[in-house]
Every structure is written in structure tokens, then in C-alpha cells.
Amino acid sequence: MPELSKSYEPGAIEARWAEFWVREKLFSVPTPPPGETRPVFTLLLPPPNVTGSLHMGHMFEQTQMDIMVRWHRMRGFVTLWLPGTDHAGIATQLMVERQLSKEGKKRRELGREKFIERVWEWKRQYGSAITDQMKRLGASVDWDREYFTMDENLSRAVREVFVRLYEEGLIYRGKYIVNWCPRCETAISDLEVKHEEVAGKLWEIRYPVIGTKEFITVATTRPETMLGDTAVAVNEKDERYKHLHGKKVLLPLMNREIPIITDELAQPEFGTGAVKVTPAHDPNDFAAGKRHNLPQIAVMDEHARMNQNAGPYANLDRYEARKLVLADLQEQGFLVGEKNHTLALGKCDRCGTVVEPRLSEQWFIKIKPLADRAREAVEGGEITIVPDNYRQIYLNWMTNIYDWCISRQLWWGHRIPAWSCEGCKEVIVAREAPARCGKCGGSKLEQVSDVLDTWFSSGLLPFTTLGWPEKTRDLDVFYPNMLMITGFDILFFWLARMIMFGCHFMQGHKQDAAIKRASGEGDKKDDSVPFRHVYIHALVRDADRQKMSKTKGNVVDPLDIIRRFGTDATRFTLAAMAAPGTDIAFSESRTEGYRAFANKIWNAARFMFMNVERVEPGLTPDKVQFTEQSLEDRWIHSRFRGTTLAVNSALSNYRFDHAALSIYDFFWGEFCDWYLELIKPRLASENRATAAMACANLVYLFDAALRLLHPVMPFITEEIWQAIYEGKAPQKSVALVGYPQADQKQIDLAAETEMAILQDLIVSVRNLRAELKVEPKEKVPIQLFVHEPAIRTVIEQNRNAVERLANVEAIVFVDQTPAGKGAGRSTARFDVHVIYEAKIDLTAECERLKKELEKLEKGIASGQRQLSNEQFLAKAPQSVVENLRKQQLELAILREKTEGKLKELSCV
């Protein structure tokens, strides 16, 4: 076996293997032919924006995905992890516009065609940044299948979906109130608006009632919109205003007569009970305007500047207009008052500009028919969502969903496949550009300038990336995906829309029956759903559990963490902290600790290589079997099987934290700290057969442990595994060999119990030596009183191990609890006394014993509460109850011994 370098340097190792995996196309998946009987695991990477670079959220999500993908691949699944990037309409357009601005140019000066060329040029130059980072981090995706959401095949599928929905009457065009971003100059969806609580003002304005000396007072946070008021609403049941029903008011500043209407929009208990109605600038007012056939007067343009309908305020910015409107209202006696008011201010999620509700002609999807089926898919168990609380959140949202505005006033994106006839104004929706108008025969047709919401095309990815609308073998094999891992922040943006589109367009689809059965899915399960299971991961926060933001200056750059600690240590940190439903408080100290874990593995490998080279050169795992020669062999073999069971179970339930920590405890706590120490005498034995057998066990177990760890720490495991085989490995990579499996029947409880006795004794003696300040190299005798003959037998049979690891000169068995000079410990199985003439700090020992007694009392009290709880006894498994009773007996014994020791030392 080769000699590993003395120090573990992750940088060079990781770069080499990352390049190797891509170059060798290790994770490329050819389409299985008919007759394939292996199970299939498909996972779609949530496509990062082409504008992006890797942040901690990406790394957290991709670490979990890569663990699941590698785990399934090693378990024999045909495993496809499909990568790609999103064209990110608004974000990319903003990026290129900023680039143009630095050159003193503007988008409109360039024109649409030239601007689009410029975006493609930018994409070619910068668009691969995040995928290059993914390659460096070792994401085991199929790079041969990488897509971009503006690829021609995907664009064709987008057009097909749009046209079909239009033909089915599910896409329509109409004037509605939309969220309008004046900076991006486009409509954005409710989900793309972020609301911030800010301190604002509430102004009360009085409108004179025509033909009377009365006024009706309304309140508003946006006084500039009053210029577009077309009514004042009161509630029909509000006694205060019944005498004003049917009357009109004079709109201040504009001197326009507008009606007083009765509508549920006005609630008597809120404010004055009267509200201004501005149908062109508020969604609720728009609905009321529809009910009462009110005019829709827009007073702002697409830049949020006042237009000609605003009269003397035309051409002013909305906030400049607000100041002037308030001043004029004050001067003319219409401003009643001003109050402090906290409001949720909507801002564009991309650029941070305050959003303006605006009346605009847009394209919409009639969403309810799609949402109903998508809701049924989750309610009926066709799709499971973990953690379960997100299931209810999803169902609530799908029940109260509104029609989706899918058009955006951008140039970059999938252009809506609709053309307007110059002659008769007919709008023609078609898959390809029509030559003539079907209504009037005119040939002057102009394509609609709007593009589709980015999430429209993203929502189609589970099936369009597999060849839809063609009927492909890839669809038969890989659709539906087995799993979707994503964050809560895009649950509605993306996840819900994938479910709606998948259920609608893949209706009637049948996955290959043999593959479906092999993958563990029932024959009756519907195959139209885009994925079977959804895991919603938590957020990564800073060490103080604060949300990361550039403003706070607490953003953690994963690339910086990786440079300092290595990819494996960073991945392990994220996995070890990934409890479902709980946000991660990312800690550099934890990462440093897992970097030390990688060092521990590295040094253990060097120890193995050194011994194999000395005893049995050329020994590889495929040439050996594990032989249980001794108690430590039986124990470690059982513990490895137990760890294997725990890890497989944890990953099945998305408990990445349990999986990582189980491996950590085994590799460091059991394998390195105990087993390696226990077998050193056999490895050094002059009996070649004994040493060779110990080497064989070591190599066998190390190989299995590397395979167990590989999905979480792929780089260090690849490096050591390849070194073990010296270029003669059975596969190109450890990622392609089998994942360890185990059965509960293989657990050796007797060996684990016996080893626990030895470990307890050794640790007790080590602790006593430390308390007595015995020099490390000095051996001391111990007296031992055991409670059962079987315990003495175990210790007798392993006397050499105890004496060596506890640095004991001799073990003397006695017939009662030992006493005398030195210090002692009592456990439920034995009492041990280290014989050593040294001054004991009586005060400190008494304090320790008191704390121990207090701890025991609490444990006994807690157990008694449980055992006296009838509900607990009725529901808990019998084994749990029996273990608790046994534990109570052991605690009672320890309490008695501790009390005796306190009396012996005359502790007050």
C-alpha cells in the first residue's frame, strides 16, 4: 500500500478528484433500455440563476441532495441527478442593464434584438460561474444532461404548454391590478413582493357632499392616488351614512363629482367607516369598481410618475406628487389630520423598489382547475411532504390561490407566442409565427412584446428536461422524480407550480411498470405527479441564529469556508446540523472540529497502510473477509452493523444529522479510539498469522467504513479508497461500489455488553488517575469488586487490554467494596479503587460526590414519575418500560454506594 502524506491537505485532493469525476463522466446515466429491472432514483436540481454564485443556502441544499444521490447510487439504483441553470428573467436583465449603464448605454437605445444578443453574450461569458463551482465541490450530477431554461428544446416545450392551456381556456388576457415594479418596468407576482414593516403615516381627508354642508372623511396611506378616485364607499348597514346613500361628493383638488356607493369594502368598525375607491390603483378597489361598473382612472405611468389624468400634478414622481397633494389639501381645508401608522410596504424582491398596484393588461392562468388536482395529489398521498407542517401550509395556499399573472414586461425570457393583427386587432396564439391573420387575412402581424414569468418555464422542468412533448424512453424511466429537495422560500414559487403542471400535462402517463415496482412504488400510484416525495430543508443562519444579510455583514461565504477547512468538513458540518424543521446556526468552530475529524480518518489510514505494508503488502479488501478472533472483533463488527442500520434508517427519513453523527461516533469514538488501540498488540505480534488476520480485519473494516462515510465526505473517502487498491480497484470510484447493509439479527448484544464493561472500567481508572494526578507513565495497581461472576470472567479474559489501556500494574479482585489509600468509583457492575499514596483534596472529593448524589436523585425521581404514569405505561413498548425499571435499580445501587462514600469521608 502507498504511504499517504503526513498531513491531510484537502485543497489539492479535492480539486483532483472533482476534475476526475467530471472527466471520467462517472455520474452520466445512459437511458436504460426496456427490460431494466433495477430501481430508479431521479432528482432534479433546483436550477440556480445563471446570474448567481454559490452561497451557503446552495451548498446546504446541494450537500443534502448529493448525499441522497450518492447513497442511492451505491445501493444499486439507476440514479439520475439532473442539473441546469435558470435564465432568471428579471435578475439577468438587471445585470446586463447595469453593465450597459457603466458603458453609458441604455437598453431601449440598443433595441430588443441587440439587447438579447448582449444577454446571450453575457451568459456565455459569466453564466457558468455557479456550475463551475458545483463541479469543484463534487456534485455528482449528470453533466451530459445539463440544461439551460432557454435552450431551444425547452423553449419549444414552453410554447406548446402555453398554446395548449390557451386552447383549453385556461390562459386569458385581461386588465387587472398587478404588482408593478417601476424600476424593472414589469408586473411581478405576489410571491415576488417582499413586505417590510415601516413607520408610515395615515392621512384623513374630507370630501364635501354635494348639495349639503356635510363632509365624509376617508383615510389613506397613499394620498396621491386620490386623484384617481371614482367613488366613496360606505357599508349599507352603517346607520351613520344611510342618509347619504345615492348622493355624490366632490373630489378635492380635481373637482370631479363621484358617487357614494354601498359596498362590503367599507367596514363600519374600521376608521371612519368610509373608504375612497380607486379602481386603477388598488386590487380591492378594482373588485369593488367591477361590482359597481365604476370608471378606472390610472393616474401613474409605468415609471410611477403622475400622468395626464393627474391634472396639475402630471409628470411628478409619485412621492413628489404626494407632498404637493398634501400641501394643497391642507391649504384648501380638506386635510383633517395625520397619524403615525405602521404599514407593510411591498417591495420588488429583485431590486428593492417600492411596488405600485397598477391597472395593466396582462396574461393570466385560470389557476383553480390546476390547483384542485395539485391539492388532491398531496391530500391523497400521491406526494408526501416532509416535515409534515409544510403539507398543511401547501394545502392552505392551494385552497386560497388566485389566478396567476404570467406575463412580464421584459425583453429577456420566453416570449409569449401571441401575435396581434394590425388590421383587425385580433390576437393569434400559435406554436409558430403565423403568416396571416385567421380573421381578416392581414399579413401585418406583430408578436406580443411580453415574456413569460420565469417560474412558468421552471415549473415544467420535471418533464420537459426528459423530452416532453415527445413520448420518450427517458420519460418512461425517470418520470416521476423520486424526490424533490428544496427550501420553503420557493414552496409556492416553484414546487406548487411543478405539481400543477405535472398533474395536468402528464395525465395518463405510465412509468415503466418493472422500474416502478423495483423502486418500491405501488402499481396503483398515479404517475402524473412530478415527484413522489418532497423534503423541505431549513435555512442556514449565522452562529447567533440571525438571518444572513449583506446589510448585517454576517454573510458566510462557503467558498471561503471551504478554502480554510475543506469541502468535506464543510459538508459534514451542514449535514450534522441538518435537523428537519430547524434552521442551522452555522458555526466555524463546528467546521474546525469536523476538519479535525478528517485528520483523524487520515491518520488512521496512515496507521493501517504502515501495518499492512509491514505485515501483508498488497492486501486489499476484495481479498479478505472479517474474522471474529476476539471480543474486540466481535464488538466492532457488531457496532459497525449497528451504525450501518442507523445510517440507512436516518437517510431514509432525511435525518442527515443522525446519519452524520452516527458515522462520526463510530469512526472516531469506536473505531479509532478503541478498536485500533485494542488490536495494536496483535498487529505487532511476532506470530505472522495473528498479525495477518488483524491486518485483514482492519482493511476490511476500513473499506466498509469509507463506503459508509462516502456520501457525506466524498473526497477524503475517494482518496483513501483509491490508495487502498493502488490502481486495481474493482470500480473507477468508491461512489460506484456497494453501500453497506446490515440486519438486526447480526447485532451481537453480548459482545457489546461485555465491551461496555471493559470501557467503563478503563475510563473509570483513567479518570481516577487524573484526579490523583498520577504521572502518565506510572503504572498503579487497582482493587476491583465485581457484582456478578460473569463480569469478573470478562475482565479476566481481557486483563491485558485493561492493564495496557488503563496503565494498570495489576488487577486485584476483592470480596467487598475496596477502600484505603487512593480513590474509588462505584458503578452498577463493579467498584474500583486505584491504590496510590497521594494527598486527596477532601473538599473537592466531597463536592464531587454531592453533585453525583444530586444527579442520581434527579434520575431516580424522573424515572419514578414515568413509572407511576398510567398513560406512559399503557403506551410505551414493554421493552422500554423494562429498561426503565432496570435503570431505576442500578441508580438505587449507585445512590446507596455514593451515600456510603460520603459517610466514609465524613462529608458534611
CA separation, residue 564 to residues 55, 262, 549 (Å):
16, 67, 22
**Residue 830 within any structural domain of the chain:** yes
**Residue 381 within any structural domain of the chain:** no
Look up residue 675 and give its three cell numbers. 478498536
End-of-domain residue from the set 800, 816, 840: 840
Q: For residue 259, what is the domain's CATH number?
A: 3.90.740.10
**For residue range 865-881, what is the model confidence (pLDDT) as tens digits?**
888 988 888 888 787 88
**Residue 540 within any structural domain of the chain:** no
**Residue 623 within any structural domain of the chain:** yes
**Residue 83 within any structural domain of the chain:** no
CA separation, residue 422 to residues 8, 427, 443, 528, 861 (Å):
71, 10, 8, 41, 86
CA distance 562 to 567: 5
Residues 890 and 794 in one domain: no
Answer whether residue 278 shows pLDDT above 90.
yes
Task: Tell me whether strands 78-82 and 40-44 are parallel, antiparallel or unpaired.
Answer: parallel
Residues 867 and 827 in one domain: no
From the centroid of its chain, how far is CA 26?
Answer: 26
pTM for the whole thing?
Answer: 0.84
Residues 723 and 699 in one domain: yes
DSSP designation for 671: I
CA separation, residue 687 to residues 70, 583, 691, 709 (Å):
41, 55, 6, 33
Class of residue 798 by CB neighbours under 10 A (exposed 0-12, middle 13-18, buried 19+)? buried
Q: 714-725 vs 10-23: helix axis angle to the nearest 10? A: 80
CA distance 389 to 206: 47
End-of-domain residue from the set 840, 865, 883: 840
61 and 486 in contact (C-beta within 8 Å)?
Answer: yes
Answer whether residue 550 shows pLDDT above 60.
no
Helix runs in 616-630, H state only = none
Q: Given the C-alpha cell 398533474, which residue does it identify? A: 503
**Phi/psi at 49 (nearest 5 deg)?**
-65, 140
CA separation, residue 814 to residues 232, 760, 824, 828 (Å):
98, 18, 13, 16
End-of-domain residue from the set 357, 383, 398: 357
**For residue range 87-123, what is the model confidence (pLDDT) as tens digits?**
988 888 888 988 898 999 988 889 999 999 999 998 8
The answer to whether the bond into 462 is cis (omega within 30° of 0) is no
> What pLDDT, on the 0 to 100 scale, is given for residue 395?
95
449 and 496 in contact (C-beta within 8 Å)?
Answer: no
**For residue range 769-798, what is the model confidence (pLDDT) as tens digits?**
998 888 888 999 999 999 899 999 999 999
188 and 404 in contact (C-beta within 8 Å)?
Answer: no
Q: For residue 673, what is the domain's CATH number?
A: 1.10.730.10
Answer whether residue 53 shows pLDDT above 80.
no
The average confidence (pLDDT) of the chain is 92
Give the helix/strand (H/E) hosting 762.
helix 749-772
> What pLDDT, on the 0 to 100 scale, is given for residue 877?
78
Residues 720 and 625 in one domain: yes
Q: Which among 603, 589, 599 is positioned nearest to 561, based on CA atoms?
A: 589
Q: List beta partners, residue 404.
A: 365
pLDDT band for 522, please (50, 70, 90 cuts). low
CA separation, residue 833 to residues 765, 770, 800, 906 (Å):
8, 13, 18, 18
What are the residues whose beta carbons fall under 8 Å from the beta carbon of 228, sequence distance 6 or more?
278, 279, 280, 281, 297, 298, 299, 309, 310
Residues 693 and 781 in one domain: no
Residues 620 and 718 in one domain: yes
pLDDT band for 429, please (50, 70, 90 cuts). very high
CA distance 60 to 578: 9
Sheet hosting strand 231-234, strand order edge to edge? 248-251, 256-262, 231-234, 274-277
Q: For the stretch 200-221, what's the b/e string if a residue is b when 16 or more beta carbons lie within 10 angstroms of its beta carbon?
A: eebbbbbbbbeeeeeebbbbbe
**For residue range 64-76, what is the model confidence (pLDDT) as tens digits?**
999 999 999 999 9
What mean pLDDT comes out for the span 815-823? 75
Residues 599 and 721 in one domain: yes
What mean pLDDT comes out for the span 363-388? 95
> What pLDDT, on the 0 to 100 scale, is given for residue 558?
87
What are the residues whose beta carbons fall under 8 Å from the beta carbon of 117, sequence distance 6 or more?
none
Answer whether residue 598 shows pLDDT above 80.
yes
Answer whether residue 284 shows pLDDT above 80.
yes
Helix runs in 24-111, H state only = 56-74, 89-102, 107-110
101 and 22 in contact (C-beta within 8 Å)?
Answer: no
Residues 603 and 678 in one domain: yes
Look up residue 98 and give its three cell numbers. 447595469
User: Helix (H, G, I), strand (E, B), or coil: what is residue 706?
Assistant: helix
Q: Given the C-alpha cell 474486540, which residue does it identify? A: 632
Residues 737 and 784 in one domain: no
Q: Which among 6, 23, 7, 5 is positioned nearest to 15, based on CA atoms?
A: 23
- Rounded to a whole number of angstroms, the CA Rg of the chain reads 36
- 3-state SS of 121-148 is HHHHHHCCHHHHHHHHCCCCCCHHHCEE
Answer whether residue 540 shows pLDDT above 80.
yes
Answer whether residue 525 shows pLDDT above 80.
no
CA distance 751 to 760: 14
Which structural domain range is residue 649 located in? Answer: 584-747
Give the helix/strand (H/E) hosting 894.
helix 878-904
221 and 200 in contact (C-beta within 8 Å)?
Answer: yes
What mean pLDDT comes out for the span 291-314? 95
Look up residue 731 and give its three cell numbers. 470500480
CA distance 165 to 504: 10
pLDDT band for 823, please (50, 70, 90 cuts). confident
**For residue range 187-221, what is the model confidence (pLDDT) as tens digits?**
887 878 888 889 999 999 999 999 999 999 999 99
Residues 683 and 771 in one domain: no
The answer to whether the bond into 469 is cis (omega within 30° of 0) is yes
Task: Report angle CA 469, 475, 480 to the nearest 5 degrees.
Answer: 115
Q: How many residues does the chain have?
A: 908
> What pLDDT, on the 0 to 100 scale, is given for residue 753?
95
Give the helix/strand (H/E) hosting 118.
helix 112-126
DSSP 368-396: HHHHHHHHHHHHTTSSEEESTHHHHHHHH
Residues 781 and 853 in one domain: no
What mean pLDDT comes out for the span 691-714? 97
Task: Report angle CA 209, 210, 213 to the nearest 5 degrees.
Answer: 60
Q: For residue 763, what is the domain's CATH number?
A: 3.30.2320
Look up residue 61 and give its three cell numbers. 441544499
DSSP designation for 52: -
CA separation, residue 711 to residues 38, 66, 308, 487, 610 (Å):
20, 7, 64, 21, 27
Give the helix/strand (H/E) hosting 361.
strand 356-365
User: Helix (H, G, I), strand (E, B), or coil: what is residue 281?
Assistant: coil
What mean pLDDT comes out for the span 571-576? 95
803 and 795 in contact (C-beta within 8 Å)?
Answer: no
647 and 662 in contact (C-beta within 8 Å)?
Answer: yes
Answer whether residue 630 shows pLDDT above 70.
yes
Look up residue 52 and give its three cell numbers. 448567481
**Residue 134 within any structural domain of the chain:** no
**Residue 312 within any structural domain of the chain:** yes
Look up residue 419 and give its three cell numbers. 401575435
31 and 614 in contact (C-beta within 8 Å)?
Answer: no
> What pLDDT, on the 0 to 100 scale, is given for residue 139?
95
User: Helix (H, G, I), strand (E, B), or coil: what is residue 28?
Assistant: coil
Specify the number of domains making up the chain.
4
> What pLDDT, on the 0 to 100 scale, is given for residue 773?
87
> What pLDDT, on the 0 to 100 scale, is given for residue 591?
93
Q: List beta partners, residue 48.
A: none
Task: Tell me whether strands 418-421 and 356-365 are parallel, antiparallel or unpaired.
Answer: unpaired
Residues 719 and 629 in one domain: yes
**Residue 22 within any structural domain of the chain:** no
Q: List beta partners, residue 486.
A: 536
What mean pLDDT comes out for the span 225-254? 95
